[in-house]
Structure 1
């Protein structure tokens, strides 16, 4: 097509330009606090676009805001000045069709920008809501960070946005401040890892939109190699499809004088990250399961990031020992006891007579819509796979408790429990209810 463009989400818009205006904080303090939802190590913030309230991932790894499942939002958003383009991101798939739209009004708390570009994706399959279990309409990153000092309190579950000229740093002896480097509007940090007793300096993309701890790109010359203790797994879902790779652990991960031992690491398949590796100096990504252990001051205008340990710092590094990945798969009717009904003998049963036949209705129960959770990924050879579970199975209960009593995040955390923990699942498969049982297994200790 005449106006078709291919934009690599990992490589676009050079420099730290301010050509499209800026976010400004519209209050006297020039600062505002916004509470967020913390789901699977990811930050979900409220964002208003052209007067429509939506939920976005706060993702330092993206250059421009992207809206997913656009066809369901197109009427209310009333976007204009559009141009058809193609986007490319992580994953093994092809580029995806989208619209580039100019001159949109974005509001995050009291921070407003009046001429913001956005990218709207048509493909309804590119939708992170089922994987997170809460509504997520898009992602936002660079445009917010470039204009404001962004404090991220993972422990307090809020961000604070302040105009740079009004931000004052406090003395903090326990803080670790590092310089940021930028490549195509994305922040990079110099850190070090210890692998096979060798200290290796590396450069990582700061990726708050990733839920893992650390991704490393294997490089034999540098000594960045997985070793023998690993398992192959689903790593995540990018704009261009699923990402697979190897999971393992490293001896140490260091930011300045702060050291984390035995941190989780993933080594993504080279085919899934071919575009990410076009920045030759990049060695991987620093993601949410490490970032959450600190409260951060992200200061793009001055080129700094500040880390301060929080209450998550000493949380153990765990991983999914079942082999199951779940997604929210719509709603289903379930029969529940109606607690509103009085528990006396006359309130439980009613009867009617039709053509001489007596029909008894039990009014103690009601039908309610509850979330359904479905297996969408299943690691080959895992405990769940060996037990006979299959992709597409709907989880009805876990260890005797209905699955709808849990959020998706809480249900998934059951699979991160200790080695040997017994898991009993009741599932629905093609209309039949089946029971499976297995125990969680360690994989590389």
Structure 2
């Protein structure tokens, strides 16, 4: 009989996998350690070492178990022990995914180490979020780490600090707000408020650092939680077992006690994607990375508190993708680059005593280099890009007359989030031919 575990994963969020085994301990006298992270698309990517192999993991609040994927080329080094087969199911309409539960792994995050860590190893090559991030991602960690420490998340300086709760000292912070967290199956929730159609509504929200959106809300007409006339249907993210779609809109306000954000992006996922997450009937949605990054946080699972302190991102306006294009890093392409042949005057004259050397260019040669290739994987219906004639599968060659090889994935995507109705020119490769398209970014919510 197959054993199936349900997981809620959306834009790298996994939940409800039971209780962790083992305990993290910090191996230094201070009982505290600072770990720098990369902030990519509002997501926290931290270095994690598993059985001596250095990997990159998403730090996701509320995750019950650590999961590892996209590691087939390093399987032997990781020494993943095949113990019990498990079938995982989450957001998306695909089939359950097979995983192997592995015990007694050594997991390190900075100076924090757990010598008896359970992992869920997914061997499915289709479960690979790295192309959507444009950076390596091998797994997700959350509850296993949060349960043992007070965790500070500093979004502005891009570091987390892990501290033994027995030695942690809280700072006096008059500008901060402290909220009590409630836990359901080891996932943290807080009560906040949203303002929709001039009505202020109390809501219970999952704290979800593993989501890149701003807010998720679950439509409930009886509470007044629903979209107004300004919304569009869109791809919301890739779940564990398939893509998730829904409506994108904005709400007037979102408040965490005295902190109020205005004109906040919100996503209303399709009800068919919420079969599992709605098992917690009191839940009204999620607070994700595009809101959380506007605060520096102190999270203490043991005393069930979270402290919010607004940072320099707090007043940034909420932008969204106005092109309708979703890209992923799809392999590599060959690019012809100039390779200049230089020589310094000192070398040219055969002197070893020059204090100031002039560089002389002897000639220009060209070389072929491998650069990331970016392809269109989702295209919003009736979006500016679709109306212009772009198609899923098109490979971007240039944007606004500049080759895409000079940009990383996030830099290109950011061009689609500009506030103004900017003109975008794309040259793409389709079936071996180069095609040019021009469109203007459109703000659906513009008054």
Q: What band does the TM-score fall into relative to the shorter chain?
A: over 0.9
Using the TM superposition, give the Cα deviation of residue 228 of structure 1 relative to its aligned residue in structure 2, in angstroms: 1.1
Distance in structure 2 (CA, Å) of the matches to 1:94 and 1:428 = 33
Match among 3, 6, 10 for residue 5 of structure 1: 3
Deviations 1:56-109 (A, max 9, x none): 000114211111124333211102252111111222222111111111111000
Contact 1:9–1:62 at 8 Å: present in 2 too? Answer: no
Is 2:237 the partner of 1:233? no
Deviations 1:394-422 (A, max 9, x none): 11110011111111111100000133200
Distance in structure 1 (CA, Å) of the matches to 2:383 and 2:397 = 20
Deviations 1:2-59 (A, max 9, x none): xx31111246356xx6x72211110000000000011000000000001110000001
TM-score (norm 1): 0.93
Distance in structure 2 (CA, Å) of the matches to 1:221 and 1:290 = 26
Distance in structure 1 (CA, Å) of the matches to 2:213 and 2:378 = 16
Distance in structure 2 (CA, Å) of the matches to 1:378 and 1:286 = 26
Describe the shift of the 1:81–1:425 C-alpha distance in structure 2 as closer, same or farther (beyond 3 A): closer
Distance in structure 2 (CA, Å) of the matches to 1:241 and 1:186 = 22
Is 2:311 the partner of 1:313? no
Distance in structure 2 (CA, Å) of the matches to 1:414 and 1:389 = 17
Contact 2:372–2:405 at 8 Å: present in 1 too? Answer: yes
Say how many residue pairs are matched. 426
Contact 2:82–2:100 at 8 Å: present in 1 too? Answer: no
Distance in structure 2 (CA, Å) of the matches to 1:273 and 1:410 = 32
How large is the Cα RMSD of the aligned pairs?
A: 1.7
Distance in structure 2 (CA, Å) of the matches to 1:346 and 1:76 = 46
Matches within 5 A, 1:250-399: 250-341=251-342, 347-348=362-363, 364-399=365-400
Is 2:422 the partner of 1:421? yes
Is 2:222 the partner of 1:221? yes
Using the TM superposition, give the Cα deviation of residue 444 of structure 1 relative to its aligned residue in structure 2, in angstroms: 2.3
Counterpart of 1:409 in 2: which secondary structure? Answer: helix
Who is 1:179 aligned against? 180
Contact 1:334–1:368 at 8 Å: present in 2 too? Answer: yes
Deviations 1:237-295 (A, max 9, x none): 11111110000000110001110011000000011121111111111110000000000
Using the TM superposition, give the Cα deviation of residue 345 of structure 1 relative to its aligned residue in structure 2, in angstroms: 12
Describe the shift of the 1:345–1:157 C-alpha distance in structure 2 as closer, same or farther (beyond 3 A): closer
Deviations 1:305-351 (A, max 9, x none): 00001011111100000000010111111001113456999954xxx
Distance in structure 2 (CA, Å) of the matches to 1:273 and 1:211 = 18
Using the TM superposition, give the Cα deviation of residue 123 of structure 1 relative to its aligned residue in structure 2, in angstroms: 1.3
Distance in structure 2 (CA, Å) of the matches to 1:210 and 1:340 = 47
Where does structure 1 lack aligned partners over 5 or more consecutive residues? 349-362
Distance in structure 1 (CA, Å) of the matches to 2:343 and 2:436 = 34
Using the TM superposition, give the Cα deviation of residue 147 of structure 1 relative to its aligned residue in structure 2, in angstroms: 0.6
Deviations 1:195-248 (A, max 9, x none): 111111111111101000000000111111111110011111111111100000
Who is 2:162 aligned against? 161
Matches within 5 A, 1:111-130: 111-130=112-131
Distance in structure 1 (CA, Å) of the matches to 2:105 and 2:361 = 60
Contact 1:9–1:63 at 8 Å: present in 2 too? Answer: no
Describe the shift of the 1:61–1:396 C-alpha distance in structure 2 as closer, same or farther (beyond 3 A): farther
